């Protein structure tokens, strides 16, 4: 009886298996892979916090940068001076309770209360007050002959780029202009914006502000060479603001000169486009000098051919300027550019 039942089951199953087989010669069938869609990160708007920012004492000796951590606590980097190379003297972490932040780390104990940041380690101590540092080029007016790309009134100089076709215009820019305050907000997911006009050698001034975390954008020279923007204030690891992320492999900003969230910051960039000979072959690499908040973070840095998404479009003598929408809010203002002509001898390109 058991054998009879098994045989009957096979009789019922086999026709289904035969019908399920693909026709001979049709080959294996594959389902289309779902399109990868980048999801917006969980963005937390920044709010004014009297604990966060730069701290400095009247007598010198130490300064500090204090910022909020992802878990809601605080981290303080104790430094000998702002905007200098090297690691912090100490890193302290702690929490706030009853209006007082208590921090410890690397043998130091410290508190922030009543507008004073005080700490000690053995016979060393500090007493710091909150200071607001600003870029020396903040609010810089465009000189005669400059191309004004955004003055707080409209985005007439800009258009939306056409998705993956970075050099193609695709209608009006979809970012939001706040004419009362003179800035433009990135509208996350609306795509990057590019200029109608193409530029090569130039001096570029851009002002920007991170308004929460995570925050990511970038200025792309010729829509190819990236100068990165991150919420990197106080952070000693990871991509820093001013990084040339897509056109250098081993070069990093000399110092991390970012200002706290909600502070307006500046890029002052001198860009020298790649050179090409009469046959169209590249004869010299692109070069760039980047000042972040007035601090030189790259000086005449040679740039490799862009990699990543920008690598698809190759290199050229000119191209539009691009501001990146990376799915997080950020603000820009006071963007202008002076076209320059580098007549100095250029070293020959090697590789790339």
* Residue 171, domain CATH: 2.60.120.560
Using CA atoms, how far residue 160 sits from 77, 185, 197, 236, in Å, is 40, 14, 13, 34
Residue 40 lies in a domain: no
Residue 268 lies in a domain: yes
Q: Which of 101, 131, 161 finishes a domain?
A: 131
pLDDT for position 12: 40
Same domain, 199 and 324: yes
pLDDT for position 37: 62
Same domain, 121 and 204: no
Residue 298 lies in a domain: yes
Grade residue 16 by pLDDT with cuts at 50, 70 and 90. Answer: very low
Q: Give which of 143, 153, 114 is closest to 130, Cα–Cα.
A: 114
pLDDT for position 11: 37
pLDDT for position 167: 97
Q: Which of 64, 97, 131 finishes a domain?
A: 131
Residue 271 lies in a domain: yes
Mean pLDDT for 109-128 is 96
Q: pLDDT by residue (tens digit) across 294-351?
A: 999 999 999 999 999 999 999 999 999 999 999 999 999 999 999 998 655 444 433 3
Same domain, 125 and 164: no
Same domain, 152 and 127: no
Same domain, 127 and 151: no
pLDDT for position 60: 74
Grade residue 10 by pLDDT with cuts at 50, 70 and 90. Answer: very low
Same domain, 243 and 112: no
pLDDT for position 46: 95
pLDDT for position 3: 42
- 12 by Cβ neighbours in 10 Å (0-12 / 13-18 / 19+) ranks as exposed
Q: Which of 131, 160, 192 finishes a domain?
A: 131
Distance CA 134, CA 232 (A): 16
Query: Which of 21-35, 54-68, 80-94, 292-306 has the least mean pLDDT?
Result: 21-35
Mean pLDDT for 47-55 is 97
Same domain, 310 and 243: yes
Q: Domain total for the chain?
A: 2
Residue 265 lies in a domain: yes
pLDDT for position 33: 63
Residue 245, number of CB atoms within 10 A of its CB: 19
Residue 5 lies in a domain: no
Buried-state track 104-136, b at ≥16 Cβ within 10 A, e below 16:
ebeebebebeeeebebebeeeebebebeebebe
Residue 184 lies in a domain: yes
Mean pLDDT for 234-262 is 93
Residue 108 lies in a domain: yes
pLDDT for position 34: 59
Same domain, 187 and 270: yes
- The fraction of the chain above a pLDDT of 70, given in percent, is 86
Asked whether 90 and 108 are in contact (CB, 8 A), the reply is yes
In DSSP terms, 97 is beta-bridged to 100
Asked if pLDDT for residue 2 goes beyond 80, the answer is no
What are the tokens at 97?
Answer: 């309770």
Containing domain of residue 208, as a range?
Answer: 147-339
Same domain, 93 and 177: no
Same domain, 194 and 249: yes
> Which of the pair, 239 or 83, is modelled with greater confidence?
83
Query: Chain-wide mean pLDDT for the chain?
Result: 89
Same domain, 69 and 156: no
Mean pLDDT for 167-192 is 98
Q: Residue 125 belongs to a domain with what CATH number?
A: 2.40.128.50
Chain-centroid distance of CA 105 in Å reads 29
Same domain, 154 and 224: yes
């Amino acid at each position: 009886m058991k054998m009879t039942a098994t045989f009957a089951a096979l009789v019922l199953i086999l026709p289904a298996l035969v019908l399920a087989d693909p026709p001979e010669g049709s080959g294996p069938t594959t389902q289309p892979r779902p399109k990868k869609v980048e999801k917006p990160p969980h963005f937390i708007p920044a709010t004014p916090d009297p604990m966060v920012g730069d701290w400095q004492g009247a007598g010198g000796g130490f300064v500090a940068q204090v910022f909020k951590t992802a878990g809601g606590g605080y981290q303080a980097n104790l430094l000998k001076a702002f905007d200098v190379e090297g690691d912090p003297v100490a890193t302290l972490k702690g929490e706030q309770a009853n209006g007082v932040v208590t921090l410890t780390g690397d043998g130091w104990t410290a508190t922030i209360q009543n507008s004073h940041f005080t700490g000690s380690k053995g016979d060393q101590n500090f007493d710091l007050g909150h200071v607001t540092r600003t870029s020396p080029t903040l609010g810089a007016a465009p000189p005669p002959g400059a191309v004004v790309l955004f003055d707080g009134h409209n985005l007439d100089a800009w258009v939306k780029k056409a998705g993956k076709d970075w050099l193609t215009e695709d209608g009006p820019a979809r970012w939001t202009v706040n004419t009362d305050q003179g800035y433009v907000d990135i509208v996350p997911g609306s795509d990057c914006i590019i200029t109608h006009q193409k530029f090569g050698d130039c001096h570029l001034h851009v002002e920007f502000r991170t308004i929460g975390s995570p925050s990511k954008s970038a200025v792309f020279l010729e829509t190819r060479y990236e100068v990165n923007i991150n919420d990197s204030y106080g952070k000693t690891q990871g991509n820093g603001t001013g990084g040339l992320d897509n056109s250098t492999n081993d070069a990093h900003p000399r110092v991390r000169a970012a200002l706290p969230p909600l502070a307006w910051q500046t890029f002052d960039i001198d860009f020298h486009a790649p050179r090409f000979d009469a046959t169209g072959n590249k004869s010299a690499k692109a070069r760039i000098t980047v000042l972040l908040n007035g601090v030189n973070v790259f000086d005449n840095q040679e740039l490799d051919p862009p990699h990543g998404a920008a690598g698809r479009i190759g290199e050229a003598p000119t191209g539009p300027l691009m501001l990146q929408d990376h799915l997080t809010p950020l603000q820009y203002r006071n963007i202008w550019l002076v076209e320059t002509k580098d007549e100095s001898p250029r070293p020959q390109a090697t590789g790339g």
